[in-house]
Amino acid sequence: MTTALYWGVPLPAVERRCQSGLLGVSETSSDMRDLLDRETQDVLAAEAVALFCYQIKKWIGAFAAALGGLDTLVFAGGIGENAPTVRARICDGLGFLGIELEEKRNAVNEGVISAAASRVAVRVIHTDEELMIARSVTRLLSLATPKES
**What pLDDT is stored for residue 119 in this prediction?**
97
The pTM assigned to this predicted structure is 0.77
Cα separation, 47 vs 55, whole angstroms:
12
**What pLDDT is stored for residue 132 in this prediction?**
86
pLDDT class for 146, splitting at 50, 70, 90? low
Cα separation, 53 vs 135, whole angstroms:
29
Detail the DSSP E strand segments found in the chain: 5-6, 9-10, 72-76, 121-125
**What pLDDT is stored for residue 11 in this prediction?**
57
81, 110 in Cβ contact below 8 A? no
Residue 135 has pLDDT above 70, yes or no: yes
Of the candidates 42, 43, 44, the one whose C-alpha atom is nearest the C-alpha of residue 21 is 44
**Looking at domain 70-149, which of 3.30.420.40, 3.40.1160.10, 2.40.50.140, 3.40.47.10 is its CATH number?**
3.30.420.40
Of the candidates 106, 104, 111, the one whose C-alpha atom is nearest the C-alpha of residue 90 is 106
Of the candidates 10, 94, 95, the one whose C-alpha atom is nearest the C-alpha of residue 56 is 94
Residue 2 has pLDDT above 70, yes or no: no
123, 113 in Cβ contact below 8 A? yes
pLDDT digits (tens, 9 = 90+) for 27-46: 888 889 999 999 999 999 99
pLDDT digits (tens, 9 = 90+) for 74-122: 999 889 999 999 999 999 999 999 999 999 999 999 999 999 999 999 9
- Run of H or E including 34: helix 32-38
Domain boundaries, the chain: 9-67, 70-149
Mean pLDDT of the chain: 87
pLDDT digits (tens, 9 = 90+) for 58-78: 999 999 999 999 999 999 988
